[in-house]
Structure 1
Amino acid sequence: MSSPADSCPLCASDGAPAVWRDDRLRVIAVDDADYPGYVRVIWCTHAAEMTDLDDEDRLHVMRVVLEVEAVMRDHMRPDKVNLAALGNMVPHLHWHVIPRWRGDRHFPDAIWAAPRVAPGAEPEAFRELTRAAALRVPEFHRRLQERLAVRFLPSP
């Protein structure tokens, strides 16, 4: 008999490269040119809801999500950060941490809504902002690794 984890794409991708990971979760980069710096925080074992975790694990997930948001705000400088834990399509516990800028293709709606601006129809000033943000992503990932390692990995 198969378990939900057998067909879960997040369980199947557990070995994929991560920006950062510990023994309970991983932070992965999402390749989305409209939202440079977008990451997901994914719980490593198959669980669908936050209440499937014990108190200590729930606290750990939220602390990591909030550290990711803090580094994103500091380095990527978005106008807003969206945090989302939906799991409607993939019922495996994960958080989306999404940098948002006024005037992005979906603004002010969620990124899963129909875009309000067609690809390539953004004003040049907004395209320049997105290009500049994309150039900050490698340093954002480095700072994220550094901050999460200091906060969450045990000292040798």
Structure 2
Amino acid sequence: MNSPSAPLVRACPLCEGPGGEILWQGDRLRVILADEPANPGFTRVIWTAHVAEMTDLPGSARAALMAAVWTVEAAMREVMRPDKVNLASLGNAVPHLHWHVIPRWRDDAQFPQPVWAAPVPGREAGTERLRLLVERAIPAYRRLLAQHLGGC
């Protein structure tokens, strides 16, 4: 049991499990398809070791992580053809270093607002079309990630 002066230790969901469907995994990081039904294609790049901030990593590891994020973005753009890609690293709820790589389409449920905003009325129907588009793109997405992330 934690003493009143000791910090509360919480289990980390990104240490305990993959965090979603693994698209690619290496020694230092993994790329997963997040379980975000309202946002098809929502991808996370997760650093394997439990660190909270980019500056917890040495420079070479930071460079490798960012190279992976850019590789995921490029692969996503090639196979999913989104209108825009959002990149975010928050970690407020899960303080384990990870990046969100989120495909956005002009007709997605929240566009142009962040994916965490309330859906625009009448746009929920487009989510099914986008889900099918992403589902068809996943095999090519996996191949590109494997081809380009081998050194991570």
Query: Common fold, TM-score beyond 0.5?
Result: yes
Cα distance in 1 for residues equivalent to 2:19 and 2:33? 14
Q: Shift of residue 81 of structure 1?
A: 0.4
* 2:39/2:115 contact within 8 Å kept: no
Q: 1:7 to 1:75 in 2, by over 3 A?
A: same
* 2:18/2:32 contact within 8 Å kept: no
Cα distance in 2 for residues equivalent to 1:98 and 1:16? 14
Q: 1:4 to 1:39 in 2, by over 3 A?
A: farther
User: Is 2:149 aligned against 1:145?
Assistant: no
Provide the TM-score with structure 2 as the length reference: 0.83
Decide which of 11, 22, 29 is 1:25's aligned counterpart: 29
* 2:31/2:44 contact within 8 Å kept: yes
* 2:13/2:19 contact within 8 Å kept: no
Q: C-alpha deviations, 1:27-71, integer Å up to 9, x for none?
A: 111133433322100011111110111101100100000000011
User: Is 2:92 aligned against 1:88?
Assistant: yes
Q: 1:20 to 1:130 in 2, by over 3 A?
A: closer
* 1:5/1:46 contact within 8 Å kept: no
Give the letter for the 2:83 counterpart: D
Q: 1:113 to 1:26 in 2, by over 3 A?
A: same
Q: Shift of residue 17 of structure 1?
A: 5.8
User: Is 2:44 aligned against 1:40?
Assistant: yes
Cα distance in 2 for residues equivalent to 1:15 and 1:128? 24
Aligned positions, number:
148
| Residue of structure 1 equivalent to 2:76 | 72
Give unmatched runs, 5+ long, in structure 2: none
Q: Shift of residue 4 of structure 1?
A: 7.7
Q: 1:134 to 1:50 in 2, by over 3 A?
A: same
Q: For 1:7, what is the secondary structure of its paired residue?
A: coil
- 1:52-131 matches, within 5 Å, as 52-117=56-121, 120=124, 122=125, 127-131=128-132
Give unmatched runs, 5+ long, in structure 1: none
Provide the TM-score with structure 1 as the length reference: 0.81
Cα distance in 2 for residues equivalent to 1:36 and 1:16? 13
Q: 1:76 to 1:15 in 2, by over 3 A?
A: closer
Cα distance in 1 for residues equivalent to 2:119 and 2:8? 32
Give the letter for the 2:144 counterpart: R
